[in-house]
Amino acid sequence: MYLENTPKVVDLTTWQAAHRPGFFGSRRAQIETDLDARCGSQGWTLGWLVGQSFLNYPAAVRLYEDAYVAFLVGRADLLQRLCAYSDVYDNSPTNVECGLDYVHEEIRRTRSNHIQDIALRWAMMRLGQQFNPAGRMLEVRGYKSEGADYSPGVVPFHAPHLTPQPEIRPKWARSGSVEAFWQSAKYLMILKSLLD
């Protein structure tokens, strides 16, 4: 389930923002392995710059989720269409194992950071809607997937003034999208004790 009781802001007395690493994509496992080798597995983390603060993953992902809620509130047609499906997934039907859990074992096991499907499940719940158990699953991936309308590269970010500039986004993501926010605000954070 969502981690409500974790600190929301990265402690800048402990962590130093290094740089904006951009989209990891298929390089994620190699990037994480390299960072573990360089800093140790506890010597680095990611933080998302929102205003003057760096949010941790649970707080940042809730903001990501809020964008999906705002999007579906404004697009009743897409909300109703979503209700016809049994569930959503990003890159594998096994993604549904995560349910509403942004830190589920399936994500760690596959090293696949699929957030949009979990955010859509939360948004449906927050809006009092349900999937149709008799329906089929909807792939929400890129422009070629049936669920492209719900892709983080298409869904607009509801608070565009919070997206750091210049935007950092993969080629498949539109400017002003949830993905543009996520990649633009993402910073590599290094333990200050490693920098001394």
List pLDDT tens digits, range 134-181: 999 999 988 889 999 999 999 999 999 999 999 999 999 999 999 999
Dist CA 120 CA 53 (whole Å): 26
Residues of the chain by 3-state class (helix, strand, coil), percent to 5: 40, 15, 45
List pLDDT tens digits, range 31-44: 999 999 999 999 99
Q: How confident is the model at residue 29 (pLDDT cuts 50, 70, 90)?
A: confident
Task: Give the pLDDT of residue 112.
Answer: 64
Spatial CA neighbour of 22 closest among 189, 186, 190: 186
Helix axes 57-74, 116-126, angle to 10 degrees: 60
